[in-house]
């Protein structure tokens, strides 16, 4: 039995995009499901109706989840259309506009509550892992995926450097750690060596079984810590998420620069590089993420205008 043409095309599509530096972990899973859906429908090519039927198939799916599914299919459909003009690309207008959620910006007290909740985890190694993970995300602004991929060799406590390898588009970067961060990581490494059943495991953050933590277990654990810490949504579009720690780092950095009287616009590329943004426009978005930031920016603008003749 010959391979379905869409499955062969998907393998080529993923191979080419990954060769350009895209990881496509989530897109690959979604598109595998989409191709299976097409096979069950005995379809040899992608049509808009078929794509929309798959995108909207999950019951009670949120608009953001359907938009994510549609984006994955559209990218694949554009690829197919280059070789087969009969392949159809579903239009975005089929779905309601996606509203970007408001970032949940954590207070110092809320972060302390999360870390305290982590310390009360059932397993000592889990407690040490999640307390250190939350603290590192808070002070570094790195992505959760980057933290999960860290190896012990990526942490140099002697030099105070943290190496983030093979991030978006295959780029790597180094972060200079504050002495308190170095101390916390050194303490975690000692606990990890004593508590892990497989201390030679290269991963930095591990489960009680000794293997590397994965997002599918980190996400529900973080939700459990949020509940234990007593954190609640501020609105329907502003919920405490693990990615909110990255937002909080960026906003606090910008607020600190404003309060110090520094040229924030000139320093934004530094923050962009630190956070591993592929385009500075993603860093500029943080300027509108906090009411306090907007007030500080307005005060800076008013002071600048007042100095003009």
Look-up: residue for tokens 């277990």? Answer: 217
Question: Does residue 239 sit in helix, strand or coil?
Answer: coil
Instruction: Considering the candidates 149, 192, 246, 247, report the single residue annotated as catalytic.
Output: 246
Tokens of 113: 């509550």
Active site (annotated) includes residue 168: yes
Active site (annotated) includes residue 165: no
146 and 130 in contact (C-beta within 8 Å)? no
Instruction: Considering the candidates 215, 243, 258, 284, report the single residue annotated as catalytic.
Output: 243
Active site (annotated) includes residue 4: no
Taking CA atoms, 221 is separated from 3, 27, 230, in Å, by: 40, 24, 14
Active site (annotated) includes residue 259: no
Taking CA atoms, 251 is separated from 154, 238, 257, 261, in Å, by: 26, 15, 10, 16
SS3 content of the chain, % helix, strand, coil (to 5): 60, 5, 35
Instruction: Considering the candidates 13, 106, 188, 286, report the single residue annotated as catalytic.
Output: 286
Q: Residues near 278 by Cβ (< 8 Å), separated by ≥ 6?
A: 168, 169, 171
Closest to 181 (Cα-Cα) out of 138, 121, 128, 117: 138
Active site (annotated) includes residue 277: yes
Closest to 13 (Cα-Cα) out of 62, 67, 74, 60: 74
Instruction: Considering the candidates 143, 192, 207, 247, report the single residue annotated as catalytic.
Output: 143
Give me the numbers of helices (H) and strands (E) for the chain, helices first please: 13, 3
Round to whole Å and give the CA distance between 80 and 181: 48
Instruction: Considering the candidates 168, 212, 239, 300, report the single residue annotated as catalytic.
Output: 168
Taking CA atoms, 89 is separated from 36, 54, 72, 86, 280, in Å, by: 18, 13, 11, 10, 30
Active site (annotated) includes residue 98: no
Give the dihedral of Cα atoms 223, 66, 80, 278; nearest 10 deg: -50
- Catalytic residue numbers, as ranges: 143, 168, 243, 246, 277, 286
């Amino acid at each position: 039995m010959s391979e379905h043409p869409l499955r062969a095309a998907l393998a080529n599509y993923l191979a080419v995009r990954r060769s350009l530096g895209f990881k496509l972990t989530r897109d690959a899973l979604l598109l595998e499901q989409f191709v299976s859906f097409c096979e069950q429908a005995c379809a040899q090519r992608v049509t808009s109706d078929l794509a929309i039927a798959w995108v909207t198939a999950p019951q009670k799916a949120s608009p953001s989840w359907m938009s994510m599914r549609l984006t994955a299919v559209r990218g694949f459909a554009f690829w197919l259309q280059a070789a087969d003009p009969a392949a159809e690309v579903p239009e975005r207008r089929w779905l309601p506009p996606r509203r970007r959620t408001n970032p949940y910006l954590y207070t110092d007290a809320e972060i302390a509550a999360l870390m305290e909740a982590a310390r009360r985890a059932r397993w000592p190694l889990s407690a040490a892992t999640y307390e250190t993970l939350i603290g590192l995300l808070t002070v570094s602004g790195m992505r959760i995926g980057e933290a999960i991929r860290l190896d012990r060799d990526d942490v140099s406590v002697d030099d105070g450097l943290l190496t983030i390898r093979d991030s978006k588009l295959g780029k790597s970067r180094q972060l200079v750690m504050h002495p308190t961060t170095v101390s916390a990581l050194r303490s975690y490494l000692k606990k990890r060596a004593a508590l892990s059943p497989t201390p030679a495991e290269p991963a930095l953050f591990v489960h009680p079984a000794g293997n590397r933590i994965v997002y599918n277990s980190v996400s529900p654990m973080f939700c459990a810590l949020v509940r234990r810490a007593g954190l609640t949504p501020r609105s329907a579009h502003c919920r405490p998420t693990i990615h909110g720690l990255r937002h909080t780092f960026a906003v606090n950095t910008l607020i600190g620069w404003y309060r110090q009287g520094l040229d924030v616009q000139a320093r934004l590329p530094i923050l962009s590089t630190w956070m591993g943004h592929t385009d500075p426009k993603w860093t500029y978005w943080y300027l509108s993420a906090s009411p306090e930031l907007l007030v500080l920016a307005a005060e800076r603008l008013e002071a600048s205008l007042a100095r003009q003749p």
